[in-house]
Chains A and B, each alone.
Chain A
Amino acid sequence: MGDGPPSAERTAGTPDGQGAGGARTADAAGPSPRSAAGPAADAAAWVIETRGLTKRFRGGQVAVDGLDLAVPAGSVFGFLGPNGSGKTTTIRMLMGLIEPTSGTARLLGRAMPGASRTVLPKVGALIEGPALYGFLSGRDNLLRYDSADPTADPRTRGARVAAALDRVGLTPAAGKKARAYSLGMKQRLGLAAALLQPRDLLVLDEPTNGLDPQGMREIRTLVRELAADGTTVFLSSHLLDEIEQVCTHAAVMAKGRLLVQGPVAELAAGARGRLVVTTADPGEAVRVLKEHGVTDVEAAEGRVTGSPPGPEGPGLAELNAALVHAGVRVTGFGVERASLEDAFVALTGEGFDVAG
């Protein structure tokens, strides 16, 4: 679900008067009249779209370099890269906090930072961790952030704050001063601030940072729920398995540049899987596999892996038969699907070293 073509259909459908989508449809419809005449025909298909987005800081350091990002509507988009690869700078430019050196960024079809006032009320964000007023209670923090939004109805403020607190499970601690919160609670309160209003887009920068495994699971469940409601989620992370678990799409950044983007399944498919043989006779298995044209063979304890032969080589069934025929005691045989990590290694030729 949610890859390129469906979003294009959604946009094509809107001018026909399918107004059931509410605010979301209105957004998609906004740029459409222009796009019919202009070159930016598919602009509204993307919830986030950047063209040549570049940020050079005053020291001359290039944090983001010619970024062309396209986030389809309805996706859970993983924005992946090691620390310092330019993810947060990109997010700050998207949210209008930093002026790009060159290039453009569009959010919900509108140019940022010019359209901040109309776009940002429909965008919830968690940027580089939560920031709270330590001297205010959790509830008062949310009341404060909600008051800052001129489109937020003060009559429903209390109810919306209570609902947001409830959604992240902070209701019992709502009256406590925020400075007494644990890191995980602060993170939840930050998320609650992003959920004060119904949003079309959620931008979550490392939302599981500082959370224990249980907290991480809860956040992931929450992200899935939100996505199921139709909210596009843009999720940055340096954790590959996190992206793989919740995202439909992903983009990989390294050193300020975009390496690749697309549906997660396609990205992983780009890297070939590994042939895995579980056996009590690894030495013999290695010999037989090499004989049959399997390359890059590695043997570990009770386990032999290698690159499966190409289409012109022997089939998997033949390989298995050959192993058995040679007297290798095979207890497991198959091809493991490539992970995003394999894809990343294939792309960069290096491991995904977060510490670097």
Chain B
Amino acid sequence: MSRAEAEVVAQGRAVSPLWTFGLLRSELRVTFRRWRTLALLVVLAGVPVLIGIAMKVDSGGSPEGGGGGGGPAFFSQVTQNGLFLVFAALAATLPVFLPMAVGVVAGDSIAGEAHSGTLRYLLVAPAGRSRLLLAKYATTLVFCLVATLVVAASALAVGALLFPVGEVMTISGVPIGFGEGLLRALAVAVAVAASLVGFAAVGLFVSTLTSSGIAAMATTVGLLITVQILDTIPQLDALGPYLFPHYWLSFADLLREPVYWDELGKNLGMQGVYAAVFGSAAWARFTSRDITA
């Protein structure tokens, strides 16, 4: 058997192992060329603009108020330092907007292809089920990073335009230079993107369950909201540390001097566990499923 197979390979065209990445490249190109993806990114880029303008208008009325102190810690500092708009915007988009956008992309990944029938042609191409699933997940992760960077970049631009920038006062009360502050901002963006890894796997799994892209997106976003509500119910405190959004706001610890790694580590660990569990579930489901659409 193996000898016969080797013969076939030897007589066939020389296939480069690198060609296998063609699917991932195509997936990235198709995803980021869809107007839907671009619309999501535009909406995400708009959030910091809205926050920035609101803060500017508000501070114009009462220079000392600085946002009333009701929101996350960063908001009060935005008017003093535009760089803080990056942190404020990420803190504002992480609970809802970012995961919702990720839910759309992840939920649609397999189910959308099944719905349009293109899934069967990808599979007979043959894309290979595991390979296709990996390409879809990798693309979703790239989207997580791009979406986060879009929010951060938009916030940085708006912040620099509307507010003064300069030395950054960390949460610990120790000032750091602006360059160092920029690096921290980048680190925060990466931490936020990494926070979405687990949720992206949940969305991918949901996507393998149905042949309707819309249903998969709605279910994924519904799950997000449900889990976040569960996380805020005091009676369910015991459950909290096992829910994927529980440590999401740990990225703020990157703004301490020195950086406080404990919860950041817990967050990354949990995202890894979620990715492994739901990634395996998605794989088990997708590789055994009858493609009838």
The chain B residue sitting closest to A134, CB to CB, is: B116
The chain A residue sitting closest to B14, CB to CB, is: A153
Tell me whether A131 is interfacial, beta carbon within 8 Å.
yes
Tell me whether A98 is interfacial, beta carbon within 8 Å.
yes
Q: How far is the CA of A146 from the CA of B20 in the complex (A)?
A: 11
Tell me whether B183 is interfacial, beta carbon within 8 Å.
no
Cβ–Cβ contact A92 & B292, under 8 A: yes
The chain A residue sitting closest to B3, CB to CB, is: A33
- The listed residue (B19, B30, B119) touching A154 by CB distance below 8 A is B19
Cβ–Cβ contact B22 & A97, under 8 A: no
Tell me whether A166 is interfacial, beta carbon within 8 Å.
no
Stretch at the interface among A115-123, A260-268, A277-285: A115-123
Residues of chain B with a CB closer than 8 A to A120's CB: 124-126
- The listed residue (B15, B23, B26, B126) touching A116 by CB distance below 8 A is B126
Q: How far is the CA of A124 from the CA of B292 in the complex (A)?
A: 18
- The listed residue (A31, A33, A98, A149) touching B126 by CB distance below 8 A is A149
- The listed residue (A92, A118, A131, A154) touching B22 by CB distance below 8 A is A154
Q: How far is the CA of A125 from the CA of B121 in the complex (A)?
A: 8
Min C-beta distance of B209 to chain A, whole Å: 15
22 contacts between A and B (CB under 8 A): A23-B13, A29-B7, A30-B5, A33-B3, A95-B124, A96-B124, A97-B292, A99-B288, A127-B121, A128-B120, A131-B118, A131-B121, A145-B122, A147-B22, A148-B22, A150-B19, A150-B22, A150-B23, A151-B12, A151-B19, A153-B13, A154-B19
Of all A-B residue pairs in the complex, the 6 with the closest CB atoms, nearest first, are: A131-B117, A147-B26, A148-B125, A120-B126, A148-B127, A147-B22
Min C-beta distance of A164 to chain B, whole Å: 13
Min C-beta distance of B127 to chain A, whole Å: 4
CB contacts under 8 Å to A, within B1-34, are 1, 3-5, 7-8, 11-13, 15-16, 19-20, 22-23, 25-26, 30, 33-34
Tell me whether A193 is interfacial, beta carbon within 8 Å.
yes
Given A131-B117, A135-B35, 16 more A-B residue pairs with CB atoms under 8 Å apart are: A26-B7, A26-B8, A29-B4, A30-B8, A31-B4, A92-B120, A95-B123, A98-B292, A121-B126, A127-B124, A128-B120, A132-B116, A149-B22, A150-B20, A150-B131, A152-B19
- The listed residue (B12, B30, B116) touching A131 by CB distance below 8 A is B116
Tell me whether A65 is interfacial, beta carbon within 8 Å.
no
Tell me whether A206 is interfacial, beta carbon within 8 Å.
no
Tell me whether B291 is interfacial, beta carbon within 8 Å.
yes
A: number of interface residues (CB 8 Å): 46
B: residues with CB less than 8 A from A are: 1, 3-5, 7-8, 11-13, 15-16, 19-20, 22-23, 25-26, 30, 33-35, 116-128, 131-132, 288, 290-292
Cβ–Cβ contact A34 & B4, under 8 A: yes
Tell me whether A144 is interfacial, beta carbon within 8 Å.
yes
CB contacts under 8 Å to B, within A137-193, are 143-154, 190, 193
Residues of chain B with a CB closer than 8 A to A32's CB: 4
Cβ–Cβ contact B22 & A152, under 8 A: yes
Residues of chain B with a CB closer than 8 A to A121's CB: 125-126
Min C-beta distance of A218 to chain B, whole Å: 22
Min C-beta distance of B161 to chain A, whole Å: 34
Tell me whether A27 is interfacial, beta carbon within 8 Å.
yes
Tell me whether A62 is interfacial, beta carbon within 8 Å.
no
Cβ–Cβ contact A23 & B7, under 8 A: no
